[in-house]
Amino acid sequence: MNNDFTFTIKSICLDENYHPSDSTRITTNFANLARGESRQANLRNALKMIDNSFNALAHWDNPAADRYSVELEIVSVDMDVEGDGEAFPSIEILKTNIIDNKTNERIEGIVGNNFSSYVRDYDFSILLLDHNKDQPKFSIPADFGDLHGKLFKYFVNSNAYKKHFKKLPVICLSVSDNKTYYRTENQHPVLGVEYQPNESSLTEQYFKKMGLQVRYFMPPNSVAPLAFYFFGDLLNDYSNLELISTISTMETFQKVYRPEIYNANAVAGKCYQPNLNNQDHSITQIVYDRAERGQLAIEQGKFAEEHFIKPYQSVLEHWSANCAL
C-alpha cells in the first residue's frame, strides 16, 4: 500500500477574464462571481475594490492612494492517493501578489486567504448531517475533521508546498453570527483592534485539527472583525504589506457575500454580535448568488464522497490511523 500521497500544484490568474475550471468548487467566492451575465463586471469591480482597500490601508508614502495593485492567483492542489495518476481536487486557495507601481517591484503576498475543500463539504454537508439525522440533540462525531486536518497538515509539510511557497498559509474567514465578540485593548497598526469570542465554534475546532489557531481583528476602515487562521505568529511572521493583501482581498469578498456584517452602516462596538438579518447595510454593485451557494454545498459533499471518500476509504483510514501529524 502506497501511503506517500503526492500533490500537484497549479495556479492561474484571477482577473476579469477568469473562467472557473471544471474541478473548481463553484460555491467558492471567486468562482461564484465569475458566472452569469455580470461575470466580467463582477470581477472587474471586485478587483478594483481590493486595490482601493489596499491603498487605503497602505497609506504611507502613498498620497494619491494609487501606489499599489493586487494580483491574485488561484492555487489548485490535486492529490494522487495511490500513485496511479488519478488525482482528486483536494484544496483550492488564493495567493496574493503586490505590485508597487512606484518602484515597479512585484512583492510576494500571502498564500491561503480563501479556503476551498471538497472534503470539508463532505464533513459538514454529508457526514455531520447524517450523524444528527433523527437525533433529539445535535452532536459531533468523535473523529470529526480528523482526516481533513491530517491531509491539510500533510500538504503544508510536503515538498510540493515548500517548493512553491516561502511562508505558511493564512486563511481569512467571516465571524460567526451565533457568537458574541468582545473588543480588547490590543491593537495592531494593520490588523486593527483585536476581539475575543465568548466561546469556541465548530469551525474553530475544525481548523484546529488542521493545525491552525485563530485570532479576530477589526482592521482600520472596517466595520466588523475578521477571523484569521494561521500557524506560528500572525503579527510577526508577516510584513504589513502581506497582511494588507489578505485583509483587502478577503474583506472585499465578505462585503459582497455578507454585506449585512461587512458592509454594515454601523461599526462593531465593544460587545459585538454579527447579525445576518441586519437591514442597515449597503449593497455592492456585484451580483452574488447566496441561495445557490447553500444548495450546492451538499452536491459538492456528495461529489467528494463519490470520488474520494468511498473509493479510497480503506487507504485513507489506514493512513489516518498511522499518520503522526
pLDDT in tens, 127-182: 999 999 989 999 999 899 999 999 999 999 999 999 999 999 999 999 999 999 99
Q: For residue range 52-74, what is the model confidence (pLDDT) as tens digits?
A: 999 999 999 999 999 999 999 99
Separation between Cα atoms, residue 45 and residue 305, nearest integer Å: 36
Average confidence score pLDDT of the chain: 90
- Residue 236's pLDDT is 96
Of 176-180, 227-231, 256-260, 320-324, give the range with the top mean pLDDT: 227-231
pLDDT score for 33: 66
Are 274 and 261 in contact by the 8 Å Cβ rule? The answer is yes
